[in-house]
């Protein structure tokens, strides 16, 4: 296994001699093994730092993990560092997916600590099975071709993954051989997390009953997808240069005249590059990108204002499309409705609104349903969903109520002052039925009736 890792490091130029390397340490088998290997890679003369991030999610385990960090540090003679982040607190302030927030925070901490100690690299312990699970997860949840490339072996020039070409089994064998003692993260076995379900249920089923070599197949697919992404990114560079402009206000613009002549797939990639220029660490959903592309091709020089999530604002101006991070509210008449990607994370900057739609098991404890979190029976929804505002004649069946009533009357019942009524966002279906008066009440018509209903969980939060 060591030879394989050395090859990975050399072929992908992951390390240089004398590098100061931060190793993300969780106490689990993968990161402990990575730490052990890097400490024993004597030819590189690395200055290894083990950094532990306490997510404040499993207090008793966190204590044991911190203790392990300390023990290992002394025993192996390496520097250690620990950081505590308050994930539950962050989630309360800004409801979002736990995994997403935890991931973003982790990267932020590593970046900051790297700058602080002037480290050259941050080594993470992702391995081949993680890559396989990521690809499968993305296929199931919905991805474009680029997403099939999976996790990159290196990012930003300093996040590196030296274990990327070894399997979980090889890591287990190495850990056993070197008598490493690691800690088991109790959440690794909870099937409520889709990633765990894929690892523990789906992949074993596919290997057993469909294709014993499915991991090879998925890795091969991901390499091709990575190659096509690199090729296309290179390929569109001259087009992006030719088609871009910058306005006096600093907005980035796309010249429609040249753009509309290109074939669909090239347009798709060019547009992607424009969005990445506006926000370099952008995580774009394929569906949203396609939706925007379709709108541009339909409306051409008549392109109207629209928003897509994560704070990029796209609007037409003459023969150009402009992209900006501007959050200034548009006149209401220009924003009659906002389409939502479901499932997905939707951010509507003008409304300072963030709506996260997730596949979920029906909740066991219905008291979880709140003003900010609802569960809806998927089969009852006609898609796409939209956010819009009160219009004369709107009707609604408040959860638990006797039947349909005018939204006007509902607002009176909940004692909402008149000027505020037009400010309440409404979640509506494609056939314009009100599903949820955000912050107030779910509709009786869309509630989950039966255990076997397929369920989406909607969480609303404030976007900044």
- Binding residues for a copy of itself (CB under 8 A): 139-145, 148, 194, 197-198, 202, 205-214, 216-218, 220-221, 224-225, 227-228, 230-231, 234, 263-266, 268, 286-287, 290, 342-343, 359, 378-379, 454, 456
Give the residue with the Cβ less far from a copy of itself, 89 or 142.
142
Give the residue with the Cβ less far from a copy of itself, 73 or 339.
339
Classify residue 186 as exposed, middle or buried by CB count within 10 Å of its CB (0-12, 13-18, 19+): exposed
Give the ranges where 59-193 is alpha helix by DSSP (H): 59-76, 87-93, 98-117, 128-141, 168-177
Q: Tell me how far, at minimum, the Cβ of 363 lies from a copy of itself, in Å.
A: 16
Of 175, 154, 185, the closest CA to residue 54 belongs to 185
Q: Tell me how far, at minimum, the Cβ of 279 lies from a copy of itself, in Å.
A: 22
Place of tokens 């660490």: 281
Q: Tell me how far, at minimum, the Cβ of 23 lies from a copy of itself, in Å.
A: 32
What residues does 58 pair with on adjacent strands?
Answer: none
Q: Tell me how far, at minimum, the Cβ of 202 lies from a copy of itself, in Å.
A: 7
Give the residue with the Cβ less far from a copy of itself, 263 or 392.
263
Q: Tell me how far, at minimum, the Cβ of 263 lies from a copy of itself, in Å.
A: 6
Query: Taking the alpha carbons of 357, 358, 361, 363 in that order, is the dihedral positive or negative?
Result: negative
Cα(149)–Cα(392) distance, integer angstroms: 48
Cα(368)–Cα(371) distance, integer angstroms: 10
Give the residue with the Cβ less far from a copy of itself, 31 or 143.
143
What residues does 320 pair with on adjacent strands?
Answer: 255, 317
Give the residue with the Cβ less far from a copy of itself, 13 or 418.
13
Q: Tell me how far, at minimum, the Cβ of 212 lies from a copy of itself, in Å.
A: 4
Cβ partners under 8 Å of residue 214, min gap 6: 132, 203, 206, 207
DSSP run (H or E) holding 229: helix 214-243
Residue 348 preceded by cis peptide, ω within 30? no
Q: 78-115 burial, b for 16+ CB within 10 Å, e for fewer? A: bebbeeebebeebbeeebbebeebbeebbbebbeebbe
Cβ partners under 8 Å of residue 339, min gap 6: 291, 384, 385, 386
How far does the chain reach from its first CA to its final CA, in angstroms? 46
Q: Tell me how far, at minimum, the Cβ of 99 lies from a copy of itself, in Å.
A: 15
Of 159, 180, 187, 189, the closest CA to residue 62 belongs to 187
Of 380, 362, 377, 357, the closest CA to residue 429 belongs to 380
Give the residue with the Cβ less far from a copy of itself, 88 or 142.
142
Q: Tell me how far, at minimum, the Cβ of 12 lies from a copy of itself, in Å.
A: 15
Q: Tell me how far, at minimum, the Cβ of 238 lies from a copy of itself, in Å.
A: 14
Give the residue with the Cβ less far from a copy of itself, 28 or 144.
144
Give the residue with the Cβ less far from a copy of itself, 103 or 141.
141
Give the residue with the Cβ less far from a copy of itself, 194 or 326.
194
> Strand 373-377 and strand 455-462: pairing?
antiparallel
């Amino acid at each position: 296994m060591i030879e394989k890792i050395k090859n990975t490091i050399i072929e992908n130029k992951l390390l240089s001699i004398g590098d100061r390397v931060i190793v993300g340490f969780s106490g689990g088998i993968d990161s402990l093994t990575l730490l052990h290997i890097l400490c024993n890679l004597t030819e590189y003369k690395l200055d290894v730092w083990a950094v532990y991030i306490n997510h404040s999610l499993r207090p008793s385990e966190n204590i044991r993990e911190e203790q392990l960090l300390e023990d290992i540090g002394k025993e192996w003679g390496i520097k250690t560092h620990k950081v505590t982040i308050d994930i539950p607190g962050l989630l309360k302030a800004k409801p979002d997916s736990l995994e997403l927030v935890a991931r973003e925070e982790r990267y932020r901490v590593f970046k900051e600590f790297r700058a602080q100690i002037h480290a050259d690299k941050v080594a993470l312990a992702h391995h081949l099975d993680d890559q396989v699970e990521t690809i499968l997860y993305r296929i199931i949840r919905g991805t474009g071709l680029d997403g099939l490339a999976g996790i990159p072996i290196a990012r930003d020039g300093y996040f590196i993954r030296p274990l990327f070409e070894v399997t979980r089994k090889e890591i287990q064998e190495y850990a056993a051989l070197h008598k490493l003692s690691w800690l088991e993260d109790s959440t690794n076995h909870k099937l409520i997390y889709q990633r765990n379900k894929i690892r523990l249920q789906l992949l074993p089923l596919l290997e057993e009953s469909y294709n014993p070599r499915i991991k090879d197949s998925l890795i091969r697919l991901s390499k091709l997808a990575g190659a096509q992404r690199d090729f296309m990114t290179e390929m569109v560079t001259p087009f992006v240069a030719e088609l871009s402009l910058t306005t006096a206000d600093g907005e980035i613009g796309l010249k429609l005249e040249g753009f509309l002549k290109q074939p669909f797939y090239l347009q798709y990639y060019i547009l992607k590059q424009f969005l990445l220029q506006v926000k370099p660490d952008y995580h774009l959903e394929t569906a949203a990108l396609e939706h925007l592309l379709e709108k541009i091709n339909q409306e051409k020089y008549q392109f109207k204002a629209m928003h897509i999530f994560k704070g990029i604002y796209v609007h037409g101006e003459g023969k150009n499309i402009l992209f900006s991070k501007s959050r200034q509210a548009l006149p209401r008449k220009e924003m009659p409705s906002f389409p939502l990607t479901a499932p997905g994370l939707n951010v509507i900057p003008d409304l300072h609104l963030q709506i996260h739609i997730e596949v979920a098991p029906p909740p066991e404890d219905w008291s979880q349903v709140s003003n900010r979190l609802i569960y809806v029976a998927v089969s009852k929804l006609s898609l796409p969903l939209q956010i819009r505002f009160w219009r004369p004649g709107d009707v609604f069946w408040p959860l638990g109520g006797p039947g349909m009533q005018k939204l006007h009357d509902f607002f009176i019942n909940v004692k909402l002052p008149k000027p505020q009524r037009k400010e309440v966002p409404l979640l509506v279906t494609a056939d314009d039925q009100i599903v949820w008066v955000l912050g107030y009440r779910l509709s009786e018509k869309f509630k989950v009736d039966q255990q076997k209903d397929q369920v989406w969980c909607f969480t609303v939060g404030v976007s900044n």
